[in-house]
Structure 1
Amino acid sequence: MAGYGVVIPAFNAAATIGAALNSVLAQTVKAETIVVVDDGSTDDTAAVIDAMNLPVTVLRQENAGPGSATTKGFAALSTPFVATLDADDLWLADKIEKQLGYLDRHPATAGVFTHWRTFRGDRPDLPEAASVAGWSRTTMMIRQEVVPTVGPIIDPPGGRGEMIDWIARVREAGFVLAMLDDVLALRRIRPGSLSYGRDPERDRGYLQVARLAMQRRAQNKAGSR
């Protein structure tokens, strides 16, 4: 199988980054490169990673958002495939093997995602809900050529919705994306995380993403006349 690299954006993730990294290292197909981008953490995220003494590259930047951090990680990789993971979440051990196998069998597909389940706190053994399609950073594996074509992941106001926007732009660029039925990732819900609960201030990002998508469609329609 072709080689892949991993990008993990992390902000104040000292409590969860160790488990996330261990789930990457437990993959049945090992990563060539693992990059953690510390997005201006003010906790012990960097110290936790250093103490684990793992084959991980840690890049640091001033706090700019998970999209910016992921984009910085993309630039550090040259592997044929790129997988991404939020620092709160976990991969199941055969996630990468199944995704690489799918992409090998479907060379016209540019990226593949998986289903996932949520869990709370430190109990990944107790997923709370039925599985859903994870159109998310945690479940994504893409071919390297997608990144320079589509451009950076842009963080909207409030810090939510950047992956919805980027995935939409991937499709608009003509790339084919697929979704596996397998549950191959677990999404952690914890207070303080970007995904925790409804928040009008953070949810502004979704409105911005929808607005940008409508503007692109209008521009494309005008250009096709």
Structure 2
Amino acid sequence: MTYYSVVIPAYNAARTIAETLRSVVAQSLAPAEIIVVDDGSTDETELAARQSGVEFIYIRQDNAGPGSATTRGFAHCAHPHIATVDADDLWLPEKIERQFRRLEEMPQLAAVFTLWRTFRHGEPDDGKGTVGPGWSRTTMLVRRDVALAVGPVIDPPGNRGDMVDWLGRAREDGHQLGMIDEVLSLRRILPGSMSYGRDPDRDRGYLEVARMAMLRRKLKNAGQG
């Protein structure tokens, strides 16, 4: 039998976390445990999660960023695979089952991702949202030993780009990442959320991620010289 843990970093997610949790337990292949890491929310995130009717492990920390919360969740996972999802996004029912099927077909893969489609908060998903490859926390199923080997998910300035950096480090370490060419996750468009729109202060995180990647390449090339 396949066992996996789910990690959900959450910050001021009272409006959405119950729906996220329900999409996790609605999977055709159910999780062995769900870990919600509350990153210092100031709203009723915990209450909304507990009122969802879903059983989960609750961990609270001082606000440090989604990467920090994800890393904290990784450390508490007890099963061989870890799936992650942001607290405002959703999974379609066969997401995890399809990902495990891909891992069986391609055992060399360290992690599997899926396409995702956008939908607007407060409106039902009509299937017409923008579709793209979800190289993201919301779509990831990763082998636990790989997640721990790659190391912490680092929060850059502005708290954007943490997974871009982490996935870049995973690839640099030689881990193969696969993409299922099918929409199996939904990305919520929510004004005020961490990923909503362009924001110079938040977007500077992407510049820092690029800078760190160039520095790692420079150090690697110097070591090979």
Pairs within 5 Å for 1:123-162: 123-162=123-162
C-alpha separation in 2, matches of 1:77 and 1:63 = 21
Q: CA deviation at 1:143?
A: 0.4
Q: CA deviation at 1:48?
A: 1.1
Q: CA deviation at 1:97?
A: 0.2
| Equivalent position amino acid for 1:41 in 2 | S
Task: Identify the residue that residue 90 of structure 1 maps to in structure 2.
Answer: 90
C-alpha separation in 1, matches of 2:11 and 2:28 = 27
Task: Identify the residue that residue 220 of structure 1 maps to in structure 2.
Answer: 220
Pairs within 5 Å for 1:2-17: 2-17=2-17
Pair 1:203-2:203 in alignment: yes
| Equivalent position amino acid for 2:59 in 1 | L
Judging changes above 3 Å, is the alpha-carbon distance between structure 1 residues 125 and 172 closer, same or farther for their aligned structure 2 residues? same
C-alpha separation in 2, matches of 1:88 and 1:10 = 8
C-alpha separation in 2, matches of 1:141 and 1:122 = 27
C-alpha separation in 1, matches of 2:63 and 2:124 = 28
List gaps (5 residues or longer) in structure 1: none
Answer whether contact 2:74 2:148 (CA < 8 A) is retained.
no
What TM-score, normalized to structure 1?
Answer: 0.97
Q: Deviations over 1:168-207 (max 9, x none)?
A: 0011111110000010000001111011100000001000
| Equivalent position amino acid for 2:116 in 1 | W
Task: Identify the residue that residue 108 of structure 1 maps to in structure 2.
Answer: 108
Answer whether contact 1:124 1:186 (CA < 8 A) is retained.
no
Task: Identify the residue that residue 26 of structure 1 maps to in structure 2.
Answer: 26
What TM-score, normalized to structure 2?
Answer: 0.97
Task: Identify the residue that residue 183 of structure 1 maps to in structure 2.
Answer: 183
C-alpha separation in 2, matches of 1:189 and 1:139 = 16
| Equivalent position amino acid for 1:183 in 2 | V
Percent identity of paired positions between Structure 1 and Structure 2: 56
Task: Identify the residue that residue 169 of structure 1 maps to in structure 2.
Answer: 169
Pair 1:78-2:84 in alignment: no
Task: Identify the residue that residue 42 of structure 1 maps to in structure 2.
Answer: 42
Q: Deviations over 1:58-82 (max 9, x none)?
A: 1000000000000000011021110
Judging changes above 3 Å, is the alpha-carbon distance between structure 1 residues 127 and 195 closer, same or farther for their aligned structure 2 residues? farther
Task: Describe the SS at the equivalent of 1:9.
Answer: strand
C-alpha separation in 2, matches of 1:129 and 1:116 = 9
C-alpha separation in 2, matches of 1:178 and 1:60 = 32
Task: Identify the residue that residue 55 of structure 2 maps to in structure 1.
Answer: 55
C-alpha separation in 2, matches of 1:17 and 1:124 = 16
Task: Describe the SS at the equivalent of 2:86.
Answer: coil
Task: Describe the SS at the equivalent of 1:218.
Answer: helix
C-alpha separation in 2, matches of 1:130 and 1:51 = 31
Q: Deviations over 1:127-148 (max 9, x none)?
A: 4434100000000000011122
